[in-house]
Amino acid sequence: MSKSFEVIERVGISHECPCDAIKEVVTEAHNEKPVAWFQVVEERGRVTSDGKIEFQCIVKIGRKTTN
C-alpha cells in the first residue's frame, strides 16, 4: 500500500462557473492517472477582450505513488 503521494498543481478554466473549472481539471488529471484527493487553492477570474467572464481555479491534486 502506498504511504506517499505525488502532488501536482493545475489551473482549470471555464466560461461557465468555478465548479466547471475545478471538475474539468480534476477529471483531466484523473484520466491520466487516478486522483486520490484534490484541494482548491485559489479561485480568480478575468474579463476577456470580448467581454466574457473567465473563471480560473488553481487546484492541487494528490496521487498515490507506486512502490
> What is this structure's pTM?
0.86
Identity at 55, one-letter amino acid code:
F
Query: Which of helix, strand or coil describes residue 19?
Result: helix
Q: Which residues contact 9 (CB under 8 A, 6 or more apart)?
A: 41, 58, 59, 60, 61
Q: What residue ranges define each of the domains in the chain, with the CATH number in brackets?
A: 5-64 (3.30.1660.10)
Q: Which three cell numbers, joined as nine digits, stand for 4?
A: 506517499
What are 3-28's pLDDT values in tens digits? 899 999 999 999 999 999 999 999 99
Cα separation, 58 vs 11, in Å, equals 4
What are 21-62's pLDDT values in tens digits? 999 999 999 999 999 999 999 999 999 999 999 999 999 999
Cα separation, 42 vs 11, in Å, equals 9
